[in-house]
């Protein structure tokens, strides 16, 4: 199989970049894979080789390669190394978002602009977090030190149960909370457990469009994804749902559909709950996996309780994460397990190994218990609302051939291309943007079954201030002029 080194791939590090070194390496490799320059089956450079050629630590290059592996761009072969995956986490043609910058661009060391939708880490309450860190470790328990806490740190499980009742109206026992290393770890635990319990079924309904790595994760577990159409009311039940005996689970995002941003309507929610009841009554239950990711920031209206709060069948599984509400590298999340699934999930977690780091769990528990988490959410809602309004204002003033969809929650706007005002699609638009060192996340890349219903891009507003937004909007305007 072919192999490459950093020089032959034109991988270089920009000293002035806003991205960390490992993020730059990961981004350039991802672009090379998506563009087809690194074809499926190509062996990737080892972390040791990349580190030597780029003059960075091996930990830096290993982190970049681990990210590609976790996102589904690479596969690991025992004692052979990493190879480009046969099935990428994008379901359309190569060159989905951006193409590899030319050597001239790389030499210019121009920082990339982005519409980022992560947490505003510059506004993180470091003093309160330090206090929680200090006080939570004054007298750690033996079980915490030895890592013998199945399901996670008990006070954190209790704090999350209380938080879910206060913020989301969901009643659950602390014992139902299983601490995870974030949503991907949670989904891996849930799907492995369900597959073990129901080996005769392998179908999973998945929203179309969706978060691309989720699709790749399903396929990697040998599951068969089937598309759920999404409209302004959220994910639709398939017309032939009642006859689908192979369907094991459905993965939905009712609080805020990703990437389109729709909140599931009350009528659609009831359709799903009625269907769960019908399947349970028929003796062939469907498990509804409810991803609550990106649901903490509501700017208009009131948040709806999770579907789990109204489920009477015991077949709703809620997944949550702190990576966007606090900071990405925290890597802590949770599963709210229905009682019948609790022990099987803990068995799976024991078999796979507990991925959620225990040392930070007491810190987060203290942070939540003492009201710092709720205070932080309130501050961030105000900040993100201001940034959303400012970005909307700048985009309207730029008079671009775009339709901005309503954004009542979350961290990104959906900007749909106006067919009458533009002669390009979103992939071509992203290529033009890349020539100006502007990264665009296209809507097209999130569709995985059939032609994309909408073409445009996702414009994050939460992570950057107005000055950064203004630079990105100006480059956006130039790509469409």
- Looking at residue 424, its pLDDT comes to 78
Q: Give the pLDDT band of residue 254 (cuts 50, 70, 90).
A: very high
Q: For residues 66, 67, 69 and 72, what is the CA-based torsion angle, rounded to 10 degrees? A: 170
Residue of higher predicted confidence among 160 and 424: 160
Residues 261 and 223: beta-carbon distance below 8 Å: no
The range of the structural domain enclosing residue 366 comes to: 126-370
More confident residue, 49 or 337: 337
Q: Are residues 357 and 426 in the same domain?
A: no
More confident: 357 or 158:
158
> In this predicted structure, which of 90-94, 282-286, 445-449 has the lowest mean pLDDT?
90-94
Together in a domain, 363 and 220:
yes
Give the pLDDT of residue 304. 87
In a domain, 97, yes or no: no
* Residue 114 belongs to some domain of the structure: no
Q: What is the CATH number of the domain that holds 408?
A: 3.90.1150.10
Residue with tokens 């034109």: 10
Q: What is the pLDDT of residues 324-340, one digit of tens each?
A: 999 988 999 999 999 99
Q: Considering the domain boundaries, does residue 257 fall inside one?
A: yes
Asked whether residue 235 is domain-assigned, the answer is yes
On whether both 208 and 314 belong to a single domain, the answer is yes
Rounded distance between C-alpha atoms, residue 22 and residue 45, angstroms: 14
Do 40 and 183 lie in one domain? The reply is no
Where does the pLDDT of residue 84 fall: very low under 50, low under 70, confident under 90, or very high at 90 and above?
Answer: confident
Sign (positive/negative) of CA torsion 341, 303, 262, 407?
negative
67, 208: one domain: no
- Position 147 scores a pLDDT of 82
Write out the two tokens for 9.
């791939």
- Residue that the structure tokens 């009712």 belong to: 254
119: left (phi over 0), alpha (psi -120 to 50) or beta: beta
**Which positions ≥6 away from 217 have C-beta within 8 Å?**
72, 184, 187, 188, 191
The pLDDT, as a whole number, for residue 1 is: 45
More confident residue, 62 or 323: 323
If one counts the domains in the chain, the total is: 3
Mean predicted confidence (pLDDT) in 109-116: 82
Say yes or no: 390 and 295 in one domain. Answer: no
Backbone CA torsion sign across 269, 239, 225, 346: positive
> Mean pLDDT lowest for which of 92-106, 109-123, 266-280?
92-106
The CATH number of the domain where 264 resides is what? Answer: 3.40.640.10
pLDDT of residue 408 exceeding 60, the answer is yes
The torsion angle over the Cα atoms of residues 13, 40, 211 and 24, rounded to 10 degrees, is 0
Which range has highest mean pLDDT (174-178, 419-423, 477-481)?
174-178
- Tell me whether residue 116 is in a domain: no
pLDDT of 88 = 60
C-alpha distances out from residue 246 to 207, 225, 253, 424, 479, Å? 17, 11, 21, 40, 46
Is residue 79 reached through a cis peptide bond, with omega within 30 degrees of 0 on the bond before it?
no
Identify the bridge partners of residue 201 per DSSP, sorted by sequence position. none
Shared-domain flag, residues 355 and 440: no
**98 part of a folded domain:** no
Lowest-confidence region among 18-27, 92-101, 105-114: 92-101
User: With 60 as the cut, is the pLDDT of residue 103 above it?
Assistant: no
Q: Same domain for 182 and 79?
A: no
Out of 349, 370, 391, a domain closes at 370
What does the radius of gyration of the chain's CA atoms come to, in whole angstroms?
A: 22
Highest mean pLDDT range out of 45-54, 81-90, 91-100, 120-129? 120-129
In this prediction, residue 422 carries a pLDDT of: 66
Quote the percentage of the chain above a pLDDT of 90. Answer: 58
Last residue of a domain, one of 339, 370, 401: 370
| 394 and 326 housed in the same domain | no
Contact 60, 21 (CB under 8 A): yes
Which has the higher per-residue pLDDT, 347 or 419?
347
Q: For residue 98, is pLDDT > 90? A: no
CB 265 within 8 A of CB 234: yes
Choose one of 334, 355, 370: the last residue of a domain.
370
Q: Would you say residue 113 lies in a domain?
A: no
Q: Is the pLDDT of residue 17 over 80?
A: no
**Rounded mean pLDDT, 160-185:** 95
Same domain, 295 and 346: yes
Residues 365 and 384 in one domain: no
- CB neighbourhood size of 314 (10 A): 16
Question: What tokens does 264 get?
Answer: 């599931």
Q: What are phi and psi of 219, to 5 degrees?
A: -65, -35
Residue 236, pLDDT score: 96
Per-residue model confidence as pLDDT tens digits over 281-325: 988 899 999 999 778 999 998 888 999 999 999 999 999 999 999
In a domain, 109, yes or no: no
Instruction: Kindly tell me if the per-residue pLDDT of 177 is higher than 80.
Output: yes
Of 31-35, 197-201, 343-347, 472-476, the range with the lowest mean pLDDT is 31-35
If pLDDT is split at 50, 70 and 90, which confidence band does 104 have?
Answer: very low
Q: Are residues 361 and 461 in the same domain?
A: no
Question: Can you give the CATH number for the domain in which 76 is found?
Answer: 1.10.10.10
| Rounded distance between C-alpha atoms, residue 421 and residue 35, angstroms | 28
Q: What's the pLDDT band for 6 if we cut at 50, 70, 90?
A: low
Is the pTM higher than 0.95? The answer reads no
Give residue for tokens 């769990």.
361
């Amino acid at each position: 199989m072919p192999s490459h080194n950093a020089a032959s791939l034109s991988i270089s590090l920009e000293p002035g970049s806003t991205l960390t070194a490992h993020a730059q390496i990961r981004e350039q490799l991802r672009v090379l894979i998506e563009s087809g320059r690194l074809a499926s089956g190509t062996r990737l450079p080892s972390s040791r080789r990349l580190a030597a050629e780029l003059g960075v630590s091996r930990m830096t290059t290993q982190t970049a390669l681990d990210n590609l592996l976790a996102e589904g761009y690479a596969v690991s072969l025992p004692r052979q190394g990493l190879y480009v995956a046969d099935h990428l986490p994008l379901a359309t043609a190569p060159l989905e978002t951006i193409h590899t910058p030319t050597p001239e661009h790389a030499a210019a060391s121009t920082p990339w602009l982005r519409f980022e939708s992560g947490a505003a880490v510059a506004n993180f309450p470091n003093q309160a977090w330090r206090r929680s860190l200090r006080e939570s470790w004054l007298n750690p328990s033996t079980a915490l030190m030895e890592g013998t806490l199945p399901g996670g740190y008990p006070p954190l499980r209790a704090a999350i149960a209380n938080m879910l009742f206060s913020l989301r109206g969901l009643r659950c026992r602390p014992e139902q909370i299983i601490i995870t290393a974030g949503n991907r770890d949670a989904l891996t635990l849930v799907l492995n457990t369900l597959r073990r319990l129901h080996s005769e079924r392998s179908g999973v309904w998945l929203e179309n469009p969706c978060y691309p790595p989720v699709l790749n994760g399903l396929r990697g577990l040998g599951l068969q994804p089937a598309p759920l159409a999404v409209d302004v009311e959220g994910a639709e039940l398939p017309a032939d749902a009642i006859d689908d005996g192979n369907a094991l689970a459905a993965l939905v995002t009712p609080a805020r559909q990703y990437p389109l941003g729709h909140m599931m309507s009350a009528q659609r929610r009831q359709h799903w709950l009625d269907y769960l009841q019908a399947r349970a009554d028929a003796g062939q239950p469907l498990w509804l996996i409810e991803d609550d990711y990106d649901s903490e920031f509501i700017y208009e209206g009131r948040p709806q309780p999770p579907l789990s709060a109204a489920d009477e069948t015991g077949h709703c599984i809620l997944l949550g994460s702190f990576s966007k509400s606090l900071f990405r590298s925290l890597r802590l999340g949770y599963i709210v397990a229905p009682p019948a699934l609790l022990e099987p999930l803990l068995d799976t977690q024991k078999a796979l190994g507990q991925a959620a780091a225990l040392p930070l769990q007491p810190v987060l528990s203290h942070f939540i218990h003492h009201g710092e988490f709720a205070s932080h959410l309130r501050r961030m809602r105000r900040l993100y609302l201001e940034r959303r309004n400012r970005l909307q204002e700048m985009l309207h003033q730029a008079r671009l051939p775009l339709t901005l969809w309503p954004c009542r929650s979350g961290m990104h706007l959906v900007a749909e291309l106006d067919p009458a005002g533009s002669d390009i699609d979103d992939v071509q638009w992203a290529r033009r943007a890349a020539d100006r060192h502007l990264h665009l996340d296209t809507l097209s890349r999130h569709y995985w079954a059939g032609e994309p219903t909408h073409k445009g891009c996702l414009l994050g507003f939460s992570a950057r201030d107005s000055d950064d937004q203004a630079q990105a909007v100006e480059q956006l305007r130039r790509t469409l002029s």
